[in-house]
Amino acid sequence: MSGKRFQFVFEAEDYDRSVAFYRDVLQLPVVHSWDRGRDRGTFFGAASGIVEVVSDAGGFRGPRKQGVSIEVDDPPALYRRIRDTGVPFALELTEQPWGTVEFAVLDPDGNAVTFFSPKEGELAREGVVSIDAAAASLPGPWTPRDCGWRAVTSRARAPMSARAG
C-alpha cells in the first residue's frame, strides 16, 4: 500500500481548548480549518503528516490509549520552549534505547504527543529506529518479531538530565 498522507484524527472533548493547545502551545501550523456549526475541525501540519482535531467524529471514536509522534530537528530546543509555557511533561527529555532523543506531553484530551529525533551515532547513520528495542522497553504481551521486524542493538535508557554534568 502506498499512501499520500498520514492523518491522526481525534474528537476533542473541548474543541477550542485542544485547538489552542496545538496552535499556541505546540505551535503546529494550521493547514486548514472549517466551521459548519456543530461540525468544526482543524488540520495541523506535523512533519510529513496532519493532526486533525474535530468537534464531532460522527459517533466514531477509537480506544483512548493513543498518541502521535512527530520527528523534529532539535528536540532539546523544543523541549525548553514548551517547558517555558508551563505545560507538564508525560516524558522528560530522554535518550531512548531504540535510538532517539524524545519527550512527550499530553494534550487536553490525554493524547500523548511525542517529539523525537534520531540520536547521533550508529542508528542515526543507518536511519533505523529499532522496533524490537522500543517494544522491549514497554509493558504488554505484544512482540514485533511476529511482524518480521529486525532487531537492532539496544542501549540503556538514560534521562538527558542524568547525563549532564
Give the chain's domains with CATH numbers.
1-57 (3.10.180.10), 65-165 (3.30.720.110)
pLDDT at residue 60 greater than cutoff 80: no
The pLDDT value given to residue 114: 92
Q: Which of 160, 151, 47, 28 lies closest to 101 in space, CA to CA?
A: 160
Q: Determine the 3-state secondary structure of 24 from DSSP.
A: helix
pLDDT at residue 58 greater than cutoff 80: no
Mean pLDDT of all residues in 114-142: 58
CB 53 within 8 A of CB 30: no
CB 8 within 8 A of CB 52: yes
Q: Which of 108, 115, 114 lies closest to 11 in space, CA to CA?
A: 108
Tens-place pLDDT, residues 61-76: 565 667 888 999 999 9
Report pTM. Answer: 0.66
State phi, psi for 76 to the nearest 5 degrees: -60, -40
